[in-house]
């Protein structure tokens, strides 16, 4: 008994359809997908003296310190709040945040400007699925530990560089 050879149509895998599958999101042209390093160091038990040996006091005017004070204030609990675990925060009511918090504490009503500051100080937004989606975090920005905000530094922009 001899077996018949396979036909070419049986050995080839089916080609994908010329259109995206149902539920697929088409890629936007010109949008770069970047990866964000979400490596996290737990500083909840770290002393500010371990991070900054000659630390004397908290600078209340720095963005992270001001933001920590606002989020920790019960007055703004319905506008901006800590996540239940205290390691991330989120804007609860963006319209009220723009109308009430920004002009009082940041001298403007521009959410995009506030967001640039958040990014400029190294906060990272959680974009994945889950209960922390769209919350921001920084490993030195923890509920109940405002002194750690003194160790947060503004990110340095490489700026325009001249060709060598």
pLDDT in tens, 72-124: 999 999 999 999 999 999 999 999 999 999 999 998 999 999 999 999 999 99
**99 touches 117 (CB < 8 A):** no
Residue 36 has pLDDT above 70, yes or no: no
Per-residue model confidence (pLDDT) at position 61? 83
H helical segments located in the chain: 8-11, 48-51, 63-72, 94-96, 102-106, 111-120
Percent of the chain with pLDDT over 70: 63
Nearest in space to 51 (alpha carbons), one of 150, 137, 154, 156: 150
Per-residue model confidence (pLDDT) at position 34? 60
């Amino acid at each position: 008994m001899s077996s018949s050879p396979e036909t070419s149509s049986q050995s080839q895998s089916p080609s994908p359809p010329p259109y995206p599958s149902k539920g697929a999101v088409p890629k936007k042209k010109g949008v770069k997908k970047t990866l964000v390093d979400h490596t996290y160091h737990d500083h909840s038990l770290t002393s500010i003296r371990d991070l900054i040996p000659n630390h004397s006091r908290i600078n209340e005017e720095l963005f992270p310190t001001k933001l920590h004070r606002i989020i920790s204030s019960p007055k703004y609990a319905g506008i901006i709040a800590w996540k239940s675990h205290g390691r991330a925060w989120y804007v609860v009511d963006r319209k009220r945040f723009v109308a009430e918090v920004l002009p009082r504490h940041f001298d403007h009503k521009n959410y995009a400007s506030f967001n640039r500051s958040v990014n400029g100080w190294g906060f990272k937004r959680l974009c994945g699925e889950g209960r922390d989606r769209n919350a921001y975090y920084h490993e030195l920005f923890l509920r109940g530990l405002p002194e750690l905000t003194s160790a947060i530094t503004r990110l340095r922009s490489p700026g325009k560089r001249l060709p060598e």
